[in-house]
Amino acid sequence: MKIIVTGANGQLGQELVKQLTDSEHDLFVFTKTDLDITDTERVLTVCNDIKPQIIINAAAYTNVDGAETNKELAFQVNAVGQRNLTVAAEKVGAKICYISTDYVFNGQATSPYNEYMNVDPLGVYGQSKYAGEFLTQTLNTKYFIVRTAWVYGEYGPNFVKTMLKLAEEKSELGVVHDQVGSPTYTVDLAEFIIELVQTEKYGIYHCTNSGTCSWFEFAQEIFKLANKDIKVKPLTSDQFSRPAKRPAYSVLGDLSVRINGFIPRRSWKEALDEYINKNNNLH
């Protein structure tokens, strides 16, 4: 099969390319420089020339705080860019996969959000990603929407790398304890996406590693597994003020994953342990 991956130089994009490179598929890889997904005509031309069976869009504007002051850019990439790929996919009969976020929810739940619950994003980033979801569902008959959260991996900056870098500079750190979610290792996320897009089980899916934690607990586990003697102080979100409001509880339940016969991902602690053991030089 011919598979297009956009956003191929991003954290998830690079992991998708790594896993797909050894497969039997014909892979067409595009970075932002290779293909600006906001350019409607260029997207249509590229997709018409290649005529892929699958398009995985890993390109995104992901600066949660920056989106508050760059609303047009966030929507241009996350909504218009996704619309362009969705329309192009429909024209050539391709499946489209859109990577979305836990930030489409308002965080007021007390149990995990399943794929069929109503969304209510708090900030511009979540609003722009939901706009991309809506356009995907409206404009293509063969779509996969994969919501994920708290992503980290071998490539690009992420929370784990930031914590370990700070551990080299400080003996004490403050981390918020009143935001709860589920970390996601890009290896596990990419494996699920690649398995999913080869089926016809279209719809919305939640993919994170299993289990939940706060950012504070996540940081504690990182330092424990990396053998770093760092004192971690719990902070409230109010003490760690940011331009964009974050959901207090954004745990993603995997109802759709399970009822469609897919295996839920391993625990976040197990995934984090593998990541830290594999990547000794993380920062």
* pLDDT digits 0-9 by tens, 166-185: 999 999 999 999 999 999 99
Q: Show Cβ contacts of residue 60 under 8 Å, excluding neighbours closer than 6 positions.
A: 7, 10, 77, 78, 99, 129
Give me the mean pLDDT over the 125-141 stretch.
98
Do 101 and 147 meet the contact criterion of CB atoms below 8 Å apart?
A: yes
Secondary structure letter of residue 22 according to DSSP: T
Lowest pLDDT segment from 94-108, 189-203, 237-251: 237-251
Which residues are catalytically annotated? 125
Name the domain count of the chain.
1
Rg (CA), the chain: 18
Q: Is 114 within the bounds of a domain?
A: yes
Q: What is the mean pLDDT of the chain?
A: 96
Q: Is 68 within the bounds of a domain?
A: yes
CA neighbor of 253 nearest in space, from 144, 80, 98, 110: 110
Question: For the CA atoms of 53, 58, 60, 64, what is the dihedral angle to 10 degrees?
Answer: 140
Task: List 27's β-bridge partners, or say none.
Answer: 3
pLDDT over threshold 80, residue 282:
no
Q: Is 10 within the bounds of a domain?
A: yes
Q: Residue 132 and residue 6: Cα distance in Å, rounded? A: 15
CA neighbor of 46 nearest in space, from 9, 95, 5: 5
Helix (H, G, I), strand (E, B) or coil at 199: coil
Alpha helices in 51-197 (DSSP H): 71-75, 82-92, 124-139, 159-169, 186-197
Q: What's the pLDDT score for residue 279? A: 82
Q: Is 240 within the bounds of a domain?
A: no
Residue 182 token pair:
């589920």
Task: Tell me the residue range of the domain where 83 lies.
Answer: 2-158+182-211+251-267
Q: Is 275 within the bounds of a domain?
A: no
Q: How confident is the model at residue 14 (pLDDT cuts 50, 70, 90)?
A: very high
* pLDDT digits 0-9 by tens, 218-258: 999 999 999 999 999 999 999 988 899 999 999 999 999 99
Q: What's the pLDDT score for residue 110? A: 95
**Where residue 144 sits, what CATH number does that domain have?**
3.40.50.720
Secondary structure letter of residue 217 according to DSSP: H
pLDDT over threshold 60, residue 98:
yes
pLDDT over threshold 80, residue 163:
yes
Q: Is 242 within the bounds of a domain?
A: no
Q: Tell me the pTM.
A: 0.96
Q: Is 217 within the bounds of a domain?
A: no
Q: Is 246 within the bounds of a domain?
A: no
